[in-house]
Amino acid sequence: MQLIACPWCGEREENEFHYGGQAHVAYPQDPYALDDEQWAEYVFFRDNTKGPFAERWVHAAGCRRWFNALRDTVTHEFLAVYDVRAKHPPTTSAAPAAPRRKDQEASR
Amino acid sequence: MTLPRDNAPARPSPATTLNRAPHPDAGPGDALPDHPDFLWRNPEPKRSYDVVIVGGGGHGLATAYYLAKNHGITNVAVLEKGWLAGGNMARNTTIIRSNYLWDESSGIYEHSLKLWETLEEDLDYPILFSQRGVLNLAHSLQDIRDSKRRVHANQLNGIDAEWLEPDEVAKVCPIVNVSPDVRYPVLGATYQPRAGIAKHDYVAWGFARRADVYGIDLIQDCEVTGLDIQGGRIRGVRTTRGPIAAGKVALAGAGHSSVLASMAGLRLPLQSHPLQALVSELLEPVHPTVVMSNAVHVYVSQAHKGELVMGAGIDSYNGYGQRGAFHILERQMAAALELFPVFARAHMLRTWAGIVDVTPDASPIVGLTPVEDLYLNCGWGTGGFKATPGVGWCYAHTIATGQPHPYNAPFTLDRFTTGALVDEHGAAAVAH
Amino acid sequence: MNTPFRAHGHGHVDRDTTLSFTFDGITHTGHPGDTLASALLANGVHRVAGSIKYGRPRGVLAAGAEEPNALVQIEAPFPEPMLTATTVELYDGLVARGLSGQGRLSSRPDPARYDTMHAHCDLLVVGAGPAGLATTLAAARAGARVILIDELPRPGGSLLGGQELLDGAPATVWADGVVAELDAHADVQVLRRTTAFGHYDDGLVLALEKRTDHLGATAPAHISRQRVWRIRAKQVVYATGAYERPVAFDNNDRPGIMLAGSARTYLNRFGVLPGRRAVVFTTNDSAYPAALELADAGIRIAAVIDAREEVPEHWRAACHERGIGIRAGHVVTGTSGVERVTRAHVAAFGRGRLGERQGIGCDLLLVSGGWNPAVALFSQARGALRYDTGIGAFVPAHALDGVRTAGSASGTFTLAGALADGVDAARRALSAIGRTCRTTALPSPAPLPDAAPAHVLWRVPSPQDDQDGAKQFVDLQRDALVSDVLRATGAGLRSVEHVKRYTTIGTAHDQGRTSGVMTSGIVAEALGVDVADLGTTRSRPPALPVAFAALAGRNRGELFDPIRVTALHPWHVEHGARFEDVGQWKRPWYYPRADETMDEAVLRECRAARTGVAMMDGSTLGKINVQGPDAGVLLDRLYTNMMSTLKVGRIRYGVMCGVDGMAIDDGTVIRVAEREFLLTTTTGNAAKVLAWMEEWLQTEWPDLRVHLTSVTEHWVTIPLVGPRSRDVLALVAPGLDVGKDAFPFMSWRDATVAGVAARVCRISFSGELAYEINVPAWDGITVWKALHTAGGAFGITPYGTETMHVLRAEKAYPIIGQDTDGTVTPQDLGMSWVVSKKKPDFVGKRSFTRAENRRGDRKQLVGLLPADERVLLPEGAQIIATSEIPAPPVPMLGHITSSYRSDALRRTFALALVRSGTQRIGETLYVPLDGRTVPVTVTEPVLFDKEGTRRDG
């Protein structure tokens, strides 16, 4: 169980939070301008990035506020948390330079 | 004694009969047969193959086997980035059943179950397939409705299924607590007697050994780093052991399917999540069947040696780290003791996690892709193991003929565009 | 009472107290401070159990958690499967037996309590041996908040098992002094009998404290037996020591074969002589202190067999002094004996060849193949490991930011080195969190000559020509042999993970502590590769087996999941309600009278609602208050119909869809004020709907000025239903004009009901004249009782969820989640009228035009009337087109979602989702049931009062 830094409450246990999937997927400006395939992209397709991933979280058992996070899906480490209204994730230079956690494959 | 690394000893005859008799002085819990003296060669990759299968897990190996057996295609390589069957195949809880709700699902899973029923003879490998039945418990009135709906549908689809009242549940599995005094009492269960478990490594190695006998190259420590696509058609793969040309490429990378597909510029409706499982120490037989409960979230069986094998809940977030959070396991233990108070002093011996690739409708994607001669098999979520022979059979057909087999035809990628989903959220063991 | 193998003047057990225990049916004695293993050895019992595969006698190999052999089943005071005798603290009345592989679970419920504690600290030190004590002491003196945990009842670790001196006094005296100082620090907590078993992200370490196990039957019932500690540490130091490993040779599994360091521990910690005449087989220096101390305690050391050609002079001299012969460049090739080792076979060994064999009689064969640092937890923390060729073991490659090792866990095996390393670890750990750590004066051990290099030896070649005939055990618990490993590599396996699975090595509960590195070594030799390249198998949590019940803690029974009840719940209980679980709620299902069946009760409740008056507890409905200038805009975007045009004082029914166009919830929306709405959700979906709305509001439309508040539990909600409901309401709300025109359908009024300020809504989920009375939860019971009393003259009848379901089904009001399954649109439900044509967009709308949604043959909600009006169709039954059931797979047209006996219709009926249902109205379809089919007529879904004449009374 990780500690997740809620932007409003500070570090709290992971089980206070709910996951919200990929961030920066805006509701289409005009859904009716999209064909079915483009609409399906919005409804069903989300990035499944291996590595740093901009995603949404909500502090469900706390302040109930949504926020965005940049998290490494391999190490699970949170690289940054930021405002849900931001248009883009923070640049990597704003995030810690190197992930602290290295996944070690002892079997190799 | 040392063995040269790539020397291939004489291949065994496929008809090798394996020693299944336990040692005369065997203690309890030593029911496992030995593995054969020879499993597979460790060949260097060739420059080119008719078919390259990316992913040496259960699905990849089964596909290779059925390509050779059913379609006579043997100039095939299975590329595995780690060790064969070391991903989800090595990490699952080995439950086999076909009691899915929708016709499309029950079709392919029942096809798979029928193959399981003869697989041991087919592979000449003791895969320890044990048809000990599976109970899916109901804990609410809506659970009962959903369960009975599934039973009725299964019966009409020719799948063995019945509804059991709580006292009948207790007869099938006496250790389930069917008392009305628990937090979520057992109100009944669906029962599929032909369901069961098998021994995962034995299954994978059974397929691998036979594929090797057919001359298929199983290449480990060979990670695919790129797909060579020209003019909308696949030409080969780039790997950590050099480029390999291929007439056809079939992806079977389970949790890493999105990563592989992105090499072809394909975006898949998948999310990869950690899923944990655990075993206890070896115990005298107490649990005669397989029990699953969505509401209390338990799925547990007792494996051949005597250990309790239990699946935990899925971690909510995307993760490729093959590890999950501890509170999921604690919750799992509380759930297990709700239903099985006798497990109180069993010990959690070992835990691990796999990576499950989950689709929006909890059904897989198996078939063609927009790239010619590139095929896709992914999105099995928590259900991949039980499908192993079935999907291997159908995927091989798809690759060999360029057309989906009727059983995998509904599981297209474009169902997400048309809306023709196969929504199996109710049937998946894990509510995702 | 004394026992034959107690060594006088040795050990930390309390010999003034005698404990009685029973093993394999024989009663023995021991002392507080003993483990079951030490007590057995003190009584001369070496054979503990038969092995799992070959049934061979097995004894005690080790003295701690690494024990692969001495498995026991506890039978009393309460059965517990598969513990190691070396970790079971002895208590009076213990009954145990040796275990051959499979443990036994009790069929009785476990009476013990288990619980969980959270703790936070600057520094967590795991292991109270010399390194861990030094770390803790240095950090404590620096003022850090430290937790020290150790698996033993007494701190000291390896010091308890040796005879080292520190500053000229026994090292345990120093350890006791350190612990006394630590106990005096307010910010230091020392947890004894506590073992770390899991390392998770962000410094979360899980540890198991055995609180009452050592008390046996006298354990107080109110104290938890075991406790899981969830320790969140800024820094962790693993001072977890090292495990000695054996060497494989023929028949290396017999009782009486023991790790050299463990024998030393039995002597020094427990005062136990594990034999009378010993042969010592070593590859390194560490077995010499064991040999010398055991010799001094009276064990005859028949020979020291050292695989190395060169033995350091000081060990030679010390052995010579005691008349112990050393055979350098020799190995043990095998053993004799059945129940106990009787002879060690010894031969010269050089350049891969064995010399002439010679037998040496012994009842104890001590083995040391070197030491493996205990790095499982460090490895769980994803610390990288490095193979150290000098010691033949994997050691931490480098510290992590928040996790490091100290002492022999780092590969530092001398006492002086461990102490210094411990202080250094404290300094580094505190420095990483911005604290300084002053120098700590360390005690000095007796000077030791430099250690000579070890000979890394995994196995001794078998003198038997036929490899298969030799039994050289690698994993004793799994009965896995060197020949199994070689068979695996011969089969084509190249990965240690494959070899592990082929041989089952390392899968037993000791997780291969004594066998893992040996396996890597043997595989590497067989394949001609470096152990460093091959690696070892991965350490996985838990580092020690943990009881399921300990992990479940207090979260069992009614604490497994919160039970939610309404403010009226006690009344329902008093009045004999049967309850239904709906989510976490307990809802009254029906209220049977004396001898009534459920059917009878429900028909009676229905009749009351349709002909007189009835009331139910609807408080579990989710209620969300929506406030703000843009409240209407938000609701317009989330409901399929228009909400912003709703007038204050009016109510509208609404449906929400997912983005995929499928119905996800429904309920009513009332406009409280220009900028305030109150909406209801289904009971089970309340939290989900609130989360859904918050998600859209916060992440998609943060510009909307809206606040959402759950008020579910603020209100008691009482539907008052039936033709006489107006009369009853008039009695309890004299100030409210309940007239049809003054208080029209789908409107609400503030009123005083039974003296309580209430909001009364005129809505109906039954088609009858009905009111929904909402009052603050605190006053709910007052109002409920007042309604019940006032309705007495009209035969007012409380009803439960079952009757509610029947009444609404007669009117074809769907239940989301029962008549829908996530694949059903509002149009499929026949509710196109609830889908706005005017709104340019709302969530779900775009999906309605997808190909699959435009199909004419979608499944649609219809009514079904069985030809035989007494036949109650099972909910969930499937529907087919033919009266004969064809061979499978049978084409299915749909399924029955709801099915009831109707008092109003005087027959059974059902709702169903049927392919092209609305086009089939009037058709006869068939429901297969028990091998035959039941004919049913497809009807419009609304079966009762189609004209809606009853809702105004």
Q: Is A46 on the interface with C (CB under 8 A)?
A: no
pLDDT of residue A91: 73
- Domains of chain C and any CATH numbers: 1-111 (3.10.20.440), 114-243+374-432 (3.50.50.60), 246-369+451-463 (3.50.50.60), 473-534 (1.10.10), 569-619+714-796 (3.30.1360.120), 622-713 (3.30.70.1400), 809-838+854-939 (2.40.30.110)
The answer for residues whose C-beta is within 8 angstroms of residue C894's C-beta and 6 or more apart is C859, C878, C879, C912, C913, C914, C915, C917
Beta bridge partners of B275: B314, B354
CB count, 10 Å around CB of B265?
10
In contact, A83 and A92? CB cutoff 8 Å: no
In contact, C247 and C458? CB cutoff 8 Å: yes
CB contact under 8 A, C82 and B281: yes
Q: Given the structure tokens 């740093």, which residue do they identify?
A: A52
CB contact under 8 A, A58 and C539: no
CB contact under 8 A, A106 and C497: no
Tokens of B238: 């780039």
Q: Given the structure tokens 């019971």, which residue do they identify?
A: C781
Judging contacts by C-beta atoms under 8 Å, the chain B residues touching residue A1 are: 325-327
CB contact under 8 A, A58 and C694: yes
Judging contacts by C-beta atoms under 8 Å, the chain A residues touching residue B327 are: 1, 13-15
> CA neighbours within 13 Å on the CB side: how many for C374?
24
- Cα separation of C670 and C590, whole Å? 29
In contact, C301 and C295? CB cutoff 8 Å: yes
The answer for residues whose C-beta is within 8 angstroms of residue C160's C-beta and 6 or more apart is C12, C152, C154, C172, C175, C265, C268, C269
Query: Which of the residue ranges B297-311, B332-346, C455-469, C842-856 would you say has the lowest mean pLDDT?
Result: C455-469
Residue type, A2: Q
Smallest CA-to-CA distance from C775 within C706, C737, C729, C708 is with C729
DSSP annotation of C217 reads G
In contact, C408 and C419? CB cutoff 8 Å: no
Helix ranges, C444-512 (H): 482-490, 496-503
Judging contacts by C-beta atoms under 8 Å, the chain B residues touching residue A71 are: 317
CB contact under 8 A, A73 and B320: yes
Helix ranges, C811-881 (H): 851-854
For chain A, strand residue ranges (E) read: 3-6, 10-13, 18-22, 52-58, 66-72, 78-82
- Cα separation of B169 and B172, whole Å? 5
- Cα separation of B230 and B407, whole Å? 30
Beta bridge partners of C581: C586
In contact, C205 and C198? CB cutoff 8 Å: yes
Q: Is C483 on the interface with A (CB under 8 A)?
A: no
Rg from Cα positions in chain B: 21
Query: Which of the residue ranges A59-68, A76-85, B16-25, B371-380 would you say has the lowest mean pLDDT?
Result: B16-25
pLDDT of residue C101: 80
> CA neighbours within 13 Å on the CB side: how many for C741?
0
Judging contacts by C-beta atoms under 8 Å, the chain A residues touching residue C200 are: 1-2
- Cα separation of B37 and C572, whole Å? 69
Residue type, C443: P
In contact, C50 and C254? CB cutoff 8 Å: no
B2, B335, B352: residue with CB nearest C525: B2
Q: Which residue numbers in chain C have pLDDT < 50?
A: 1
- Cα separation of C283 and C245, whole Å? 11
DSSP string, C758-794: EEEE---SSSSSEEEEEEEGGGHHHHHHHHHHHGGGG
pLDDT band at residue B15 using 50, 70 and 90 as cut-offs = very low
Smallest CA-to-CA distance from C603 within C595, C594, C592, C613 is with C592
By C-alpha distance, the chain B residue nearest A38 is B417
| Residue-level length of chain B | 432
> CA neighbours within 13 Å on the CB side: how many for C224?
17
Phi, psi (degrees; rounded to nearest 5) at B269: -80, 65
Hey, of B32, B44, B152, which one would you mutate to test binding to chain C, going by the most C CBs within 10 A of its CB?
B152
Q: Is B329 on the interface with C (CB under 8 A)?
A: yes
Residue type, C374: A
- Cα separation of B9 and B42, whole Å? 11
- Cα separation of A61 and A13, whole Å? 10
Q: Is C772 on the interface with B (CB under 8 A)?
A: no
Tokens of C723: 């033709």
By C-alpha distance, the chain B residue nearest A104 is B321
Element (H, E) at C188: strand C188-191
C527, C817, C888: residue with CB nearest B142: C817
* Helix-strand-coil split of chain A, %, nearest 5: 15, 30, 55
The answer for residues whose C-beta is within 8 angstroms of residue B197's C-beta and 6 or more apart is B94, B95, B96, B128, B129, B130, B132, B290, B301, B303, B309
DSSP string, C114-156: EEEEEEEEEEEEE--SHHHHHHHHHHHHTT--EEEE-SSSSTT
Q: State the chains in contact with C (3 or more Cβ–Cβ pairs under 8 Å).
A: A, B
pLDDT tens string C201-252: 999 999 999 999 999 999 999 999 999 999 999 999 999 999 999 999 999 9
Buried/exposed code over C700-726 (b: 16+ C-beta within 10 A; e: otherwise): beeebebebebebeebbbbbbbbbbbb
What is the average pLDDT across B5-16? 37
Q: Is C495 on the interface with A (CB under 8 A)?
A: yes
Tokens of C562: 């919160």
CB count, 10 Å around CB of C90?
27
- Cα separation of B59 and B379, whole Å? 12
The answer for residues whose C-beta is within 8 angstroms of residue B21's C-beta and 6 or more apart is none
CB count, 10 Å around CB of C173?
16
- Estimate the crossing angle of helix B141-156 against helix B103-123, to 10 degrees: 60
The answer for residues whose C-beta is within 8 angstroms of residue B218's C-beta and 6 or more apart is B40, B41, B42, B43, B56, B61, B64, B77, B78, B80, B84, B208, B211, B212
Report yes or no for ipTM above 0.90. Answer: yes
CB contact under 8 A, A49 and B327: no
The answer for residues whose C-beta is within 8 angstroms of residue B8's C-beta and 6 or more apart is B41, B42, B43
Q: Chain B closest CA to C286's CA: distance in Å?
A: 29
By C-alpha distance, the chain A residue nearest B272 is A48
Q: How far is CA C912 from CA B343, C114, C247, C624, C909, in A?
A: 42, 48, 71, 31, 10
DSSP string, C881-914: S-SS--SSSPP--EEEEEEEEETTTTEEEEEEEE
CB contact under 8 A, B326 and C560: no
pLDDT over threshold 60, residue B3: no
Judging contacts by C-beta atoms under 8 Å, the chain B residues touching residue C853 are: 419
Strands C371-373 and B365-368 come out as: unpaired
Q: Is the peptide bond before C77 cis (omega within 30 degrees of 0)?
A: yes
Hey, of C551, C850, C914, which one would you mutate to test binding to chain B, going by the most B CBs within 10 A of its CB?
C551
By C-alpha distance, the chain B residue nearest A39 is B417
**Residue C780, by phi and psi: left (phi above 0), alpha (psi -120 to 50) or beta?**
alpha
CB contact under 8 A, B319 and A37: no
Q: How far is CA C100 from CA C62, C77, C133, C508, C580, in A?
A: 18, 21, 38, 12, 47
The answer for residues whose C-beta is within 8 angstroms of residue C623's C-beta and 6 or more apart is C678, C679, C680, C681, C686, C710, C711, C712, C714, C715, C717
pLDDT of residue B426: 62
pLDDT of residue B5: 36
* Chain A residues whose C-beta sits inside 8 Å of any chain B C-beta: 1-2, 13-15, 18-19, 21, 36-37, 39-41, 43-50, 53, 55, 71, 73-76, 103, 107-108
Helix ranges, C408-459 (H): 415-432
C204, C536, C694: residue with CB nearest A106: C536
pLDDT of residue B144: 96
pLDDT over threshold 80, residue B28: no
